[in-house]
Amino acid sequence: MDDSVEMFAHVAGYTYKYEMLDKATNHFDPANKLGEGGAGSVFKGILPQGKIVAVKRLFFTTRQWTDGFFNEVNLITGIRHKNLAKLLGCSIEGPESLLVYEYVPNGSLDQILFGKDSRTVLTWKQRFNIICGVAEALAYLHGGAQSKIIHRDIKSANILLDENLNPKVADFGLARFVTQNRSHVTTGVAGTLGYMAPEYLLQGQLTEKADAYAFGVVVAEIVCGKKNSIYTEGSASLLHGVWKNYKAHNITASVDPVLNGEFVEQEASNALRVALLCTQSSVSLRPSMSQVIQILTEKDFAVPSPKQQPFLNCTMLNVDDRTLHATSTFSPLPSPKGPNPTPTSARSSFNTTTDSFSSNNAHEINIAMPSDPREENKNNNNK
């Protein structure tokens, strides 16, 4: 074992034998697959002593898997919060490297809210608890004394629910450290369309307010019971509908009708206003996550009024599990370089997505996830 691997094993904590995890997941049987994200697939595994774990198997090529793997472990190791998924260890000496997380039995918020086979209807109390839990997790990540962690991919699919439906923020493959003395970092664009803040999507300028923006989208989805990220040109987006009801002084008309009016009016109103505050185009107008917690939990807190309607102009044309094609009609944000800078091409930090911006008026964004060669080989062998 070389020095870098020894150091990594020390940082990551407990290491598992690859053979154990391979057997625990029944050789990564598709029947044990819990989900799939931008960085890899997650499988349910049962260890020899009977403990159930979640095993993350990253998408990779021979040279491109390392950044995302080391990044995720280095960021999440040592941070502990009740609303963050806990990293138990890793496997780094087998034919591929694996991450082992605590198993969260109720799957993702996305599956429960929008899954075709979901039979769970979240009560208002459960929804509000999820919103507050995610807010607390993000405030914790952003509140470090020396540096803050920006998640970069907050979305309903990355919020897991435990046996009591408490939220656990997961998937730190895109996360970034930012020192407290820096206002922002400029980085390659990576994330999920529909949850990405405009200044980050267009200019690659990353601050913790990008997480706040994504959180606002998730809040709207939770309260309204509708997904924001897919809509067609000419139709009203989820956030646009919330904005219209807010301007008509009837914001709680946006609450999920499945609840049949069984919700706390003030909590729902504050949550929807948080969604609008967080999704304003201007970074400076969005609240910090600590301010969000105050709005949600302090009864006498003066909730500010949103000054801008949400950033909305993204049209999703085609979506499948691996590739997103989008056409946007963004008005580029002003910058010191001039009123209409041309966004530049950027490759994501972990090299599994490529975001290409064309130079015409409608910026076409293609985010393509690579096929997993292991799954392709299996498919070929089955033919």
Active site residues: 153
Helix (H, G, I), strand (E, B), or coil: what is residue 115? coil
**CA nearest to 170, candidates 189, 147, 151:** 151
User: Of 9, 209, 186, whose CA–CA distance to 92 is shortest?
Assistant: 9
Integer-rounded Cα Rg, in Å, for the chain is 21
Phi (first) and psi of residue 22, to 5 degrees: -60, -45
Q: How many C-beta atoms surround the C-beta of residue 16 within 10 A?
A: 22
The residues pairing with 179 across neighbouring beta strands, listed in sequence order, are: 147
Separation between Cα atoms, residue 330 and residue 201, nearest integer Å? 10
Task: Name the token pair of 240.
Answer: 């646009």
Q: Which amino acid is at 229?
A: S
Q: Which helix (H) or strand (E) holds 42?
A: strand 40-46
| First vs last C-alpha separation in the chain | 39
Quick one: how far is CA 378 from the chain centroid?
A: 29
Give the burial string for 59-90 (b: 16+ CB within 10 Å, else e): bbeeeebeebbbbbbebbbeeebebbbebbbb
Residue 320, φ and ψ in degrees, nearest 5: -135, -170
